[in-house]
Amino acid sequence: MSKTIVILISFLFFYLPAVAEEITSSEKHSFMIETVVDGLVNPWAVDFLPDGRMLVTERPGRLRIIENGQLSEPVKGLPKSHVEAQGGLLDIALDPDYDNNQIIYFSYSAADRTGIGTEVVSAKLVGNELKELKTIFKALPKSAGGYHFGSRLLLTKAGTLFITLGERGDMYRAQDINDHAGSLIRINKDGSIPKDNPFIKNSRAKPEIFTYGNRNIQGIAMHPDTGDIWTVEHGPQGGDELNLMQPGVNYGWPIITYGVNYKVGTPIGEGTHKEGMAQPIHYWIPSIATSSLLFYDGDNFPLWKGNAFVSSLAFGQLVRLEMKDNKVIKEERLINGMYGRIREVQQGRDGFLYFITDESNGKLLRIKPLD
């Protein structure tokens, strides 16, 4: 457990866009947490523009630009999100070639006469407006209900786009490879399908599927050294998972899980192991409600370099994981509820860590080292 000393030093920093709030320590670094901006309504994702501005999505359906600690008016040109329960405007990611093409990607829950489902759109950001919108993926079939949309995005320099999808609260959909729900999707960033996808030659499968048997992945990251794809996945009551994603692999939900049914605590499926289904690299009991994942590779926190960071909704924590040979060898929990539900942790272009809080008066906060 880290030791936190609450100090009132904001008056010393009145000339800065951010306001210092807390000084705390971990086993490896002491650090300061400062507010970059507040007044966000259930922010879901943050990304960083090359000129120092930041993009933040708000689940009720707004995209905001943050510049010098100030929120812009909502960006114009977004399609209408279906805002229900966990649905709305969700993740955002910049094209790896954004400097040249100004293209961003975002995911949201979209409704039509058949139901609701995750969709992904590419668009060009011009000033405070999105132009040249193109829908590049639709999760099918759509269905009723407002739960388990997944929706994290990961773009690779090779031009592929990974999209995480939940099973929409209908657990056995995750075992059907002719259904996008409960899977990790891999497409090219123009919406086409990579020729080496694992099910592309299977006429009974959705060719965009990269893995299946996933309950509700809400964190995805590429390891900076190995290029491996890692995810964190919500379990039910217990059984949140850290997984190393391999093409064509069945990750077991709901046949195997370390979680149990809500409230009653009864078993789910057939146990925790089954031949032909992958085991998590690490899991959490009780559930911490994992919501994002990153591998830190900056220089501002040298003793954290190579560590994984997982954000937690349930306990309002950042979980720091030290890893070796694809195994977790150390876990440390930071922040511990000081700011409420943490929806996402990201590494900025400046090498600092940033996180957003999923609250009606949500904040974007920055973590800076003291040593």
Confidence (pLDDT) at 344: 98
- Which residues make Cβ contacts (< 8 Å) with residue 97, sequence separation at least 6? 103
C-alpha closest to that of 241 among 226, 249, 253, 225: 253
Confidence (pLDDT) at 43: 98
Q: Which pTM was predicted?
A: 0.94
* Residue in the structure block whose two tokens are 């056995």: 172
Helix, strand, coil percentages, rounded to 5, for the chain: 5, 45, 50
- Which residues make Cβ contacts (< 8 Å) with residue 158, sequence separation at least 6? none
Is the pLDDT assigned to residue 13 strictly greater than 60?
Answer: no
**215-273 pLDDT, tens digit each:** 999 999 999 999 999 999 999 999 999 999 999 999 999 999 999 999 899 999 999 99
Is the pLDDT assigned to residue 19 strictly greater than 90?
Answer: no
Q: What span, in angstroms and rounded, lies between the C-alpha atoms of 218 and 150?
A: 5
For residue 88, what are its two tokens? 């709305």
What is the average per-residue pLDDT within 325-351?
Answer: 97
Q: Which are the catalytic amino acids?
A: 148
What does 298-354 look like in DSSP terms, one character per residue? Answer: -SSSGGGTT-EEEEESSS--EEEEEEETTEEEEEEEESTTSSS-EEEEEE-TTS-EE
What is the average per-residue pLDDT within 150-177?
Answer: 97
Tell me which of 6-10, 37-41, 54-58, 210-214 is least confident: 6-10
Confidence (pLDDT) at 25: 86
Is the pLDDT assigned to residue 189 strictly greater than 70?
Answer: yes
Tell me which of 9-18, 137-146, 358-367 is least confident: 9-18
Confidence (pLDDT) at 15: 29
Q: Taking all residues of the chain, what is their mean pLDDT, rounded to a whole number?
A: 94
- Using the CB atoms, write b or e for 297-335: b if 16+ within 10 Å: eeebbeebeebbbbbbbbbbbbbbbbbeeeeeeeebbbb
Is the pLDDT assigned to residue 349 strictly greater than 90?
Answer: yes
Is the pLDDT assigned to residue 5 strictly greater than 70?
Answer: no
For residue 324, what are its two tokens? 């070796």
Confidence (pLDDT) at 10: 33
